[in-house]
Amino acid sequence: MPYTAVTDPQFVPAAQAIFMIDEDIVIGVAQGNVAKAYPAADVSQHGVVHDEMADGPIIVSWCVTCNTSVVYRSELKGKRLHFDWDSMVGANEVERDRETGSLWQQSTGEAISGPLRGSQLELYPFVRTTWREWRRRFPSTLALKPLPGYAEVFPFRRGRIFEGIPGGTSAPKGSFGQDDRLRPKEIVAGLAIGTGAMAFPFTALRTARVVNERVGGIPVVIVHQSSSDTTTAFDPRVKGKVYRFAPANPDSSSLMDEETHSTWDAYGHCVDGSLTGTQLKPVILVPEFWFAWSEFHPKTKVFTAAGQSSSKNPGR
């Protein structure tokens, strides 16, 4: 099928999304009372989906080569931009905006050439999760409806996406990452704050489940629900005080803070205790293969299940 951007997305209620299975990986976006699921098996056939949320236009993107899922605001200085697939750099997709012809690295949201070179798109809150988990959280969610002919390719695309989950032995041709602290196709949740960057491998998160860390000097809490490989992150500060968290059940769908013993869900909302009703500010993670994260963040640290982060790169 043509590898073209979706500019007029159509959605169906969850009950009508018969083209999806529970284990499908989706990019979930929620704003106000509206929740939307973008199937990776569909987005990866187009590269970019343009959409509108209540607070402005966004683009949803998935590079199947490096397993990078990401959502950006598609406005720059008040001007909307529209994107199409253009090429590959470092085994990561590059999009060209129609307005200026500038080229943008999908993994980082940075313009790498053209009139807007050096400009940066703003990340928009999203979560990589499964269709089952997203429906559980948002029963009234909408699902992106595939264009005619695209749903038939879902089984093949699922295979392409799922094959990276156990990891891999080599990076694809054209990638320039040489960091061998992890296997090239290890999936990580990447987090960049200021000049700091850290990769949280899914394999380590499945063991640690909840991580209290600092990235770029800023406190963060990372939560991993192993049943769906859903990873979320939050700023653990409430009224200036940093709280520490621990899992309250085996899947980390429930958390407890160490200071007040209040109960929280995996999405940063306090559901019981003295802090009931408090919502922690989300921190946006970028899930992708290690070779992609490390090539675009060469000074990244790596979280280990033992709680020791590594900043050494023996492969360079």
pLDDT tens for each residue of 140-166: 999 999 999 999 988 888 876 765 555
pLDDT confidence of residue 313: 58
Among 152, 179, 196, residue at a domain's last position: 152
User: What is the DSSP secondary structure assignment for residue 253, as one 8-state letter?
Assistant: S
What total number of domains does the chain contain?
2
- Tell me if 287 is assigned to some domain: yes
Q: What is the pTM of this model?
A: 0.93
* pLDDT band at residue 10 under the 50/70/90 scheme: very high
- Tell me if 297 is assigned to some domain: yes
- Tell me if 214 is assigned to some domain: yes
- Tell me if 216 is assigned to some domain: yes
Higher pLDDT, 305 or 150: 150
Name the strands in the sheet holding 187-193, side by side, starting at the edge strand that comes first in the sequence: 286-289, 187-193, 196-201, 301-302
Burial class (CB in 10 A: 0-12, 13-18, 19+), 75: middle
- Regarding whether 142 and 25 lie in a shared domain, the answer is yes
- Tell me if 231 is assigned to some domain: yes
Contact at 8 Å (CB) between 212 and 245? yes
- Regarding whether 218 and 292 lie in a shared domain, the answer is yes
Q: Which domain holds residue 285?
A: 187-302
Question: What is the C-alpha separation between 137 and 144, in angstroms, rounded?
Answer: 17
Tokens of 42: 């569909």
pLDDT confidence of residue 223: 98
- Tell me if 22 is assigned to some domain: yes
- Regarding whether 98 and 19 lie in a shared domain, the answer is yes
- Regarding whether 212 and 148 lie in a shared domain, the answer is no
- Regarding whether 147 and 51 lie in a shared domain, the answer is yes
User: Max Cα separation, the chain?
Assistant: 54
- 239 Cβ neighbours under 8 A, 6+ residues apart: none
Q: Which CATH number is 144's domain given?
A: 2.102.10
- Regarding whether 297 and 201 lie in a shared domain, the answer is yes
Mean pLDDT of 65-92: 94
User: What is the DSSP secondary structure assignment for residue 151, as one 8-state letter?
Assistant: G
* pLDDT band at residue 306 under the 50/70/90 scheme: confident
Q: Which CATH number is 247's domain given?
A: 2.102.10.10
- Tell me if 25 is assigned to some domain: yes
Tokens of 6: 């979706």
- Tell me if 33 is assigned to some domain: yes
Q: What is the Cβ-side half-sphere exposure of residue 259, based on CA atoms within 13 angstroms?
A: 9
- 238 Cβ neighbours under 8 A, 6+ residues apart: 275, 278, 280
* pLDDT band at residue 1 under the 50/70/90 scheme: low
